[in-house]
Amino acid sequence: MAEILGLFRALGEGDDEEKESAAEALRKFARTNASNRVLIVEAGGIPLLVELLHDGSAYAKFEAAGALCSLAYHDAAYKVVIAAAGAIAPLVELLRDGSAAAKTTATYALGNLACNNAANKVAIAAAGGIPLLVDVVRDGSADAKEPAARVLRNLARNNDVARDNDTNAVAIAAAVGLEAFVELARGGRVTVDDQSVDVGIAAKRKAALVVAALLRACVPDGLRSRADVQDVIRGVIGPYL
């Protein structure tokens, strides 16, 4: 306990090097066993780690994200505490601006926070995480691509029940493009760089409405008959059928 409290003092009062060393040590502690994780949380470590995500050096942010990733993985209650402390927004920022290693760690951390927690799924989307995760799947490191796709699948689902989070599913399609909307409307999935994000009926219906609205916007004024409109629609959507 005394050792962990000393690490917390370093997080709050140390220079950059001391904060980096303390964050690295806490990440290792959090991975080791449940007793260490309880000590970190009960002693108030989560807010300090989140503060480091906001204001620490690049390496300190990476290590803080790793510690929070382990805490979120091992205990459902910790997911709530971590999100309440404000971790989601800076983790999303790591997807935008972090190193390749930091992006990978942030991806895993967001995935752990989203797993079986509907509120965190909404918060990740609200923080702008979906298009950044799509970017990771497309252009990220080999280590980050698959976990990023897994997070997107999780965001498109509501916990362990086979129901859509249709808002997130449509947001994923929007981040990919028009073809993704058509794919979602037809097959209940979105493909990003060969990674498939499967969803269900509610998102398919919403995607179909989006496609229909886009088609309406493409139909020129002055068409003479219903047949003219049908010809335009067939011409646009035909390649996808």
Alpha-carbon gap, residue 121 to 83, rounded angstroms = 11
Which homologous superfamily is 1-155 in? Leucine-rich Repeat Variant (1.25.10.10)
Q: What is the pTM of this model?
A: 0.83
228, 231, 235, 239: CA torsion to nearest 10: 160
CB neighbourhood size of 20 (10 A): 23
Alpha-carbon gap, residue 128 to 27, rounded angstroms = 26
- Tens of pLDDT along the chain (241 residues) come to 677 778 888 888 889 999 999 999 999 999 988 898 999 999 899 999 999 999 999 999 999 999 999 999 989 999 999 999 999 999 999 999 999 999 999 999 999 999 989 999 999 999 999 999 999 999 988 889 999 999 998 888 765 444 567 888 888 988 988 888 888 888 888 888 777 777 666 777 888 888 777 777 776 676 666 667 677 777 766 765 5
Do 70 and 108 form a contact (C-beta atoms < 8 A)? Answer: no
